[in-house]
Structure 1
Amino acid sequence: MKILLTLIIMILAITGNSFAQTSVQELEAYFDFWVGEWELSWTDNQGKEGAGTNTIERILDGVVIQENFMATEGALEGYKGRSVSVYNPQRQSWHQAWVDNQGGYIDLKGSVDGNQRIFQTAERPGPQGGTIINRMVFYDINKDSFTWDWESSQDGGESWSLNWRIFYQRVK
C-alpha cells in the first residue's frame, strides 16, 4: 500500500512539473508582447475619446499575467479594471477573469488565430433578447505597439461589431 501511495505521489509531482513548464512556454509564446507599461488612446463606437494606462506583469512564478487598467482622460475617466490570465494545460487553453470598479466581471476563454490573440466570452442572453458574444482581439502586434478591439456578435460569431478600439503604445 505504501509503495502504491508513493508511486501516485511521484506521478502527480512529475505531471505537475510538466504542466508548469508548459504554462511558462505558452505564456512566452503567446502573450509576451503584452507584458510592460503602456499608454493608451481610444475612440469608442460613439466617437468618445479617451486615454489611460495599462500595466501588465507576470506574477505567481511567471505563469499568470496580471493586468492593471486605468482610464485617465475622457468620458471613462476614473474607470479601473484588473484581469488575470493563465494558460490551463489540462484544457489546453487560455482563460481570463476581468473585474472592474463598477462591479463588472467577465470570464473569457483565449485562443490564437494567426497573428491575433483573442479572449472571448461564452454566448449569453443579450439585453434586447437573443444572445450575445463579446471578445477582445489583439492585433497589429509590434514590439512597442498593438491594437486592441472589443467586439460583440449577436449571430453566434458569424459577424462582429466594433464597440471600442484601443491603441497601445509602450512607455519607454
Structure 2
Amino acid sequence: MSTDTTTATTAAQPAKITGDFDFFTGHFDVAHRQLKNPLTGSDDWEEYTGTCHARILFDGAVSIDQVTFPSKGAYGMSLRLFDPVEKDWTIYWINSKTGKTQPPVRGRWDGDSCWLVGEDEHEGRPVLASYVWSDVTERTAKWQQAFSVDNGETWETNWVMEFTRRDDAPEPLGLPKVTDDFEFLNGVWQGEHQRLREPLTGSTEWYEFSSTLTGWTYFDGAVSVDEGVLPSLGFKGLTFRTFDPIAKEWSIYWINSLRGKLDTPVVGKFDAEGNGLFYGPDEHNGVPIEVRFHWRKNGPAPTWEQSFSTDGGQTWEANWRTTFRR
C-alpha cells in the first residue's frame, strides 16, 4: 500500500481483464485423495471429504476459496492473483494451523487447463511444486498437486481434489474461535479518505476522496479480506490479513488491482483497548522506509492511518487517514 501514490483524479474503474477462475464461485463438495508419504516411493493414499466456498474479486482478477477439512479439524485457503501485465496467475496457500502464506506457484491457463509451478520444500527438502487445474465443467473441476526433486524432469502427484458444485452452504466446522479482531470490518462500509499528496517531501497538501469497502472473514475469524473500490483513483485495493495462532499476531498484505501482486506485509496485533499497530519494511520512490498501520476499531466509525519513517521508526509522518462508516 505504501507505494500507491496515485493522486485523486476522475478515473473509470478498469474493465474486466480475465474470467479464468469465474467458474470457481459458490459452494462445492470436495473429494480428496492424498498420498500419505510423498517422495518415498510409497503408493499408500488417503481418501477423505470436505467442502469449499469460493468467490472472485477485482472483477475476476482475484480468486479466493476456503476449503474445510472436517476429519482434520482445519481449513485451507488459496489466494489467486492475476498479473495484468504478465497475464499470469500467482497462487498462495494458507493453512489455518499456521496462518502463514506458503511460497507461491505461478502460471497461466492454456486452453481448458492451467499449470503453475514454484519453489517449495517438503519436510525440509527443496522441491518444485506444481498445481494443475483441469476437467472444468459447469458443476465440476479437478485440481492436482505434484512435487519434483529433479528440477522438473519428473513429477510425483501427491494430492487430488475433485470439486462438485452444491446448491446450499455447508455446515460450519464449529471449531473454537481463535480471534475476532477484524470481524468488525465484515459487511459494507463507506470510506472517507485523506491522503498526503507528496509524502516525505515536507509537503502539507492533502486531498480527499471516498470509497466503498466490503469485508469478509474466513477460518472462523483468523483470515480477514476486504475489497475497496476507489473510483477517483482508477483502481481497486484488496487487503488480505492472516492470523498466526502461535505468535498471536497478524500479517497484513495489500494488493493493487493495477499490479496484481502481494506487497510486503506489516505485522502486529491489537491491544485490549482496540488499538492495532502493525509494522513492516518497504520503500517509497526507491527509498527504504518503515511502514506503520494504526487501527482504532472501537466505536461506530473505525479509523485507519498509514505512516512512513525514514529513521528506523524514531519519527513518523502520517500520509493516509481513513474513517469508515456504515
TM-score range, shorter chain: 0.7 to 0.9
TM-superposed CA distance for 1:144, in Å, is 0.7
Quick check: which one's helix share is greater?
1
Alignment deviations for residues 55-97 of structure 1 (CA, whole Å, 9 cap, x no partner): 1112355542111111123xxx212112221211133221222
Contact kept, 8 Å, 2:17 with 2:61, in 1: the verdict is no
Q: Is the partner of 1:25 in helix, strand or coil?
A: coil
RMSD: 2.7
Task: Tell which structure's C-alpha radius of gyration is larger.
Answer: 2
2:160 — aligned with what?
Answer: 165
How many residue pairs end up in the alignment? 152
**Cα offsets for 1:28-72 (capped at 9, x unmatched):** 1x1122122110012212321111111111235554211111112
Are the equivalent residues in 1 in contact too, given 2:120–2:129 (CA < 8 A)? no
Aligned to 2:21: 31
Q: Distance in 1 between matches of 2:108 and 2:67?
A: 22
Paired position in structure 2 for 1:136: 131
2:54 matched to which residue of 1?
Answer: 56
1:114 aligns with 2:111: yes
> Deviation of residue 169 (structure 1)?
0.6
**C-alpha deviation, 1:127, in angstroms:** 4.6
Q: Which runs of 5+ in 2 are unaligned?
A: 1-5, 36-43, 168-326
Distance 1:57 1:148 in 2: 17
Q: Which amino acid in structure 2 is aligned with residue 49 of structure 1?
A: E
Query: Aligned residues: percent identity?
Result: 20
Alignment of 1:5-154 (within 5 A): 17=13, 20-21=14-15, 24-26=16-18, 28=19, 30-45=20-35, 46-60=44-58, 62-73=60-71, 77-103=72-98, 104-106=100-102, 107-121=104-118, 123-124=119-120, 127=123, 131-154=126-149
TM-superposed CA distance for 1:101, in Å, is 1.4
Q: What letter corresponds to residue 145 of structure 1 in structure 2?
A: T
Q: Counterpart in 1 of 2:234?
A: none
Q: TM-score, normalised by structure 2?
A: 0.42
Deviation at 1:149, TM superposition (A): 0.7
Matching residue's letter, 1:93: D
Q: Which runs of 5+ in 1 are unaligned?
A: 1-7
TM-score, normalised by the number of residues in structure 1: 0.74
Q: Is the 1:137–1:148 contact (alpha carbons within 8 Å) kept by the matching residues of 2?
A: yes
